[in-house]
């Protein structure tokens, strides 16, 4: 009797979980099925989950002017460059704070701590001025330069590095290795998995970024995916007729990211909840 009860409660639990997952995933499913519906099916009442025949015209329309490929390229290549810069300079910075002795370390550490929690909004007006005075407004270079520091990464690396056994580093020092060598030959390889995790998180963050690029990029050819999608959405008219095309456009932006997540899930999730990300 008791055993039967347990089985029943387990089944109920799984039904509840599946329902919850369905609710959470529903917007993605709805986006997907609506992107292959005809105009009539989209406006049909009562709505149906699936179209009668899958239509690919919406996708053709999205890519007809070639702009979307442009947006995806812009976002991807800038995100890759930003990620590489931020990985290297944050790791070097964290290494110096963990292993190199110099004056003013404490001050620097406090400064970084204080900036960590700053809302980026507080920097936007002056950063905007800097870019416009240096002629970097409306350029990808301007975006990359202004996004080339990540305090989150620095903290993450600091925690990771401080866990490396100090005796290994000391042994290398005794053997005459300099900091540069220790960094590239010992510390970086030993924390390779953190590089992967942070690399993925930085890439996704930059790829999804909307607010700051929308302030500094003006030409349509330079737009990132979120901006391109936003302007596509308004040009189709929020209350207009082309929801199918809009959903197809959303699919083109969201699905690649979901695939990345699907294949790298372990790295991403471990990175988010690891002590390194949380402690400080």
Partner 1 sequence: MKKSYYNNRKKKARQNRTKGKGARRFKESMTGFLFLLPALLPLLVFWVGPVLYSLWLSFTDWDMMSPEIHFVGLSNYKSLIGQSDFMAVLQNTLVFALGSVIPTILLGLLAALALSSAKKGTRIYRMVMFAPYITPMVAVSIVWSWIFEPRVGILNYVLSFLGIHGLKWIQSRNTAMLSVIIVTVWKQIGWTLLFYLEALQKVPGNLLEAAAIDGAGKVKRFLKITLPMISPTTFFLLIITTINSLQAYDQIQVLTQGGPAGSTRTLLYYYYQEAFESFHTGKASAVAVILVLITVILSLAETKVSRKYIYYE
Interactions with partner 1, residue window 37-76 (CB under 8 A): 42-47
Q: Does 186 bind partner 1 (CB under 8 A)?
A: no
Counted residue by residue, the chain has a size of 280
Question: Which part of the chain contacts partner 1 (CB under 8 A), choosing from 57-65, 160-168, 178-186, 188-196?
Answer: 178-186
Q: Does 218 bind partner 1 (CB under 8 A)?
A: no
* Minimum CB–partner distance for residue 233 and partner 1 (Å): 5
* Minimum CB–partner distance for residue 226 and partner 1 (Å): 4
What is the distance in angstroms between the CA of the first residue and the CA of the last residue of the chain? 50
Question: Which part of the chain contacts partner 1 (CB under 8 A), choosing from 63-71, 163-171, 191-199, 207-215?
Answer: 207-215
Contact 255, 195 (CB under 8 A): no
* Minimum CB–partner distance for residue 172 and partner 1 (Å): 13
Rounded Cα distance between 90 and 86, Å, is 6
Q: Does 202 bind partner 1 (CB under 8 A)?
A: no
Rounded Cα distance between 174 and 164, Å, is 17
Question: Per CB under 8 A, which of residues 9..28 are in contact with partner 1?
Answer: 10, 13-14, 16-17, 20-21, 24-25, 27-28
Buried b (16+ CB within 10 A) or exposed e, 158-186: bbbbeeeeeeebeebeeeeeebeebbeeb
Q: Does 278 bind partner 1 (CB under 8 A)?
A: yes
CB-side neighbour CA atoms (13 Å) of 190:
16
Question: Which part of the chain contacts partner 1 (CB under 8 A), choosing from 50-58, 62-70, 186-194, 203-211?
Answer: 203-211
Among 54, 111, 168, 171, binds partner 1 (CB under 8 A): 111
Among 143, 161, 207, 267, binds partner 1 (CB under 8 A): 207
Q: What angle do CA 12, 13, 16 make, to 5 degrees?
A: 85
Contact 269, 204 (CB under 8 A): no
């Amino acid at each position: 009797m008791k055993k039967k009860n347990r089985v029943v409660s387990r089944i109920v639990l799984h039904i509840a979980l599946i329902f919850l997952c369905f609710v959470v995933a529903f917007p993605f499913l709805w986006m997907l099925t609506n992107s292959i519906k005809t105009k009539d099916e989209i406006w049909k009442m009562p709505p149906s989950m699936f179209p009668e025949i899958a239509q690919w015209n919406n996708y053709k329309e999205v890519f007809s002017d070639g702009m979307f490929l442009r947006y995806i390229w812009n976002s991807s290549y800038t995100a890759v460059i930003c990620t590489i810069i931020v990985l290297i300079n944050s790791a070097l910075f964290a290494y110096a704070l963990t292993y190199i002795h110099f004056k003013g370390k404490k001050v620097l550490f406090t400064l970084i701590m204080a900036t960590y929690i700053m809302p980026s909004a507080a920097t936007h007006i002056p950063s905007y001025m800097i870019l416009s005075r240096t002629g970097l407004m409306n350029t990808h270079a301007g975006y990359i330069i202004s996004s080339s520091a990540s305090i989150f990464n620095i903290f993450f690396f600091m925690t990771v590095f401080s866990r490396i056994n100090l005796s290994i580093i000391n042994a290398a020092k005794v053997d005459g290795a300099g900091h540069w060598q220790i960094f590239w030959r010992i510390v970086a390889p030993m924390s390779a998995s953190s590089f992967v995790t942070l690399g993925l998180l930085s890439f996704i963050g930059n790829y999804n970024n909307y607010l700051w690029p929308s302030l500094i990029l003006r030409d349509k050819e330079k737009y990132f995916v979120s901006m391109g999608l936003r302007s596509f959405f308004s040009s189709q008219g929020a209350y207009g007729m082309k929801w199918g095309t809009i959903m197809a456009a959303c699919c083109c932006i969201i699905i690649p990211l979901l695939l990345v997540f699907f294949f790298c899930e372990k790295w991403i999730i471990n990175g988010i909840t690891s002590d390194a990300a949380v402690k400080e």
